[in-house]
Structure 1
Amino acid sequence: MKKIATLTALIALSATAALAEPSCTPAADGAAAPVWEAVKAFEEEGGVVKAFKINGGDCYEIYGSLDGTNMEVFFDPTTGEELERIDA
């Protein structure tokens, strides 16, 4: 029963986080900032990258931790600018 409750809570949390994700304008061919720049910026802050993807809103999304806190960090693919951080 405890596993089911935990799984249900994780699904609800994931759905909530997915609804809150920012949207980005897809970069024109060759105009996107390299993915590694977003990863490097997070790591230079002391963050540890666990996973990376391009979300449904075309933003770069890093899953990682910083100072013991798990988080999602979103970057604009055109400018490389950090858009939002969500503690996970």
Structure 2
Amino acid sequence: MRSLNALLAVAGLTLSAVAFAGPQCTDMPKSDWMSEEAMKQKIAEQGYTVDKFKTTDGNCYEIYGKDQDGKKVEIYFSPIDGSVVKEKRG
């Protein structure tokens, strides 16, 4: 019974980790990516203010910031072409 409980606990932790994982954006080598500076410029041109910019484990550029209306956003971008892969507002 203990081993079943342990197995269920491990399975639950694994599933919760997957639920919080960000998207996978690309498998292309980093040499094919837009530079961080080019991506930041593109983001600014779209009207976003960036508070935090990072590269994720899923090979995305991710920002935490604000949109044109001052509302909080979390956005994952493809580093290949700068397209939005996933967006969360509020």
Counterpart AA for 2:59: D
The residue aligned with 1:48 is: 49
TM-score, L = length of structure 1: 0.66
- Tell me which of 74, 77, 80 is aligned to 1:78: 80
Give the percent of matched residue pairs that are identical in Structure 1 and Structure 2. 32
Distance in 2, Cα, partners of 1:73 & 1:79: 14
How many aligned positions are there? 73
2:13 — aligned with what?
none
Task: Select between 76-85 and 19-28 the one with higher mean Cα deviation.
Answer: 19-28
Aligned to 2:35: 34
Q: Which runs of 5+ in 1 are unaligned?
A: 1-14
The one-letter amino acid paired with 2:28 is A
- Structure 1 stretches of at least 4 aligned residues deviating more than 3 Å after TM superposition: none
For structure 2, which runs of at least 5 residues remain unmatched after alignment? 1-15
Map of 2:9 onto structure 1: none
Residue correspondence of structure 1 range 3-22 to structure 2 within 5 A: 19=20, 21-22=22-23
Q: What residue identity is the alignment partner of 2:74?
A: E
**Which is greater in Rg?**
2
Displacement after TM superposition at 1:25 (Å): 2.1
